[in-house]
Amino acid sequence: MEFENVILSKEGKIGIVKLNRPDKLNALNLRTLNELNKIFKMIEEDSSILVVILTGAGDKAFAAGADITEINKLSRQEAEKFSRNGQEIFDRIENFDKPVIAAVNGYALGGGCELAMACHIRIASENARFGQPEINLGIIPGYGGTVRLREIAGKSKALEMILTGDMIDAQEAYRIGLVNKVTPHAELLDAAKKTGEKIASKSGVIIKYALESLRIKSTGRREEMENESRLFALCTETEDFKEGTSAFLEKRPAQFKNK
């Protein structure tokens, strides 16, 4: 299946998803979002892909926000539908059963920052810039930015970024926990692949359980602990549990089968 604004390629067990509108700084228009959603559905059904890397084409931007030409004349009803559509797509990524690594090359602003935050791990190049500048357009983040930025960076920093619209650089993003690692620009994709390959060497089914346990949100810590125990117990019924523990005791590398 061919797409215009998003490219999917595979390297071993890693699927590389690239936003492909470099002339528009990979702005997230509706076509791009819909293609992104379809590609993640394809990856979900492809058992050969265990890890996903999401990045942007070109050297300037991961994604520089939504396409303003599509939102400047939205009615209230259209705006709510527009926001919910983006939230659903980003929720799919956040709740994906395979780890998604954002390789942030350049600007990640507005919807681009929200997209990066929906990924499980974020690696940034030294020239990356993050921000939620929607306030400068007379709106607020609509793709989950107010929620995820507060969860990741804390309420105080989220308020500062959202109310001022100011950008932060990669080092500040690392300091506040918005990114996991900062690399030289030329080494960004290799760093993301290295992390992806390390994860892909583990058991896919156990990774799925780990992701499920980490994303569970409940009304209490006790419930979260109980869910962790349930998923821990499910691990012991897999072939990969038997292989992993046996390999450790026999002092050899584990050969996981994802079963």
Active site annotation includes 11: no
* Contact status, residue 233 vs residue 209, Cβ threshold 8 Å: no
Q: What strands, in cross-sheet order, belong to the sheet with 168-169?
A: 61-63, 107-109, 129-131, 168-169
Catalytic residue among 44, 80, 134, 187: 134
**H-run or E-run covering 129:** strand 129-131
CA distance 123 to 195: 10
Joined tokens for residue 16? 């590389």
Catalytic residue among 35, 114, 239, 250: 114
Residue 72 Ramachandran class (φ > 0 left, ψ -120 to 50 alpha, else beta): alpha
Query: Hey, what long-range contacts does 79-85 have (CB within 8 A, 24 or more apart)?
Result: 79/142, 82/142, 83/142, 83/143, 85/30, 85/33
Cβ neighbours of residue 189 closer than 8 Å, sequence gap 6 or more: 53, 55, 103
Q: Which residues of 34-68 are buried (b: 16+ CB within 10 A; e: fewer)?
A: ebbbebbeebeeeeebbbbbbbbbbeebbbbbbbe
What SS3 state is found at 130? strand
| CA 211 distance to own-chain centroid | 13
Active site annotation includes 114: yes
Q: Would you name the residues annotated as active-site residues?
A: 114, 134
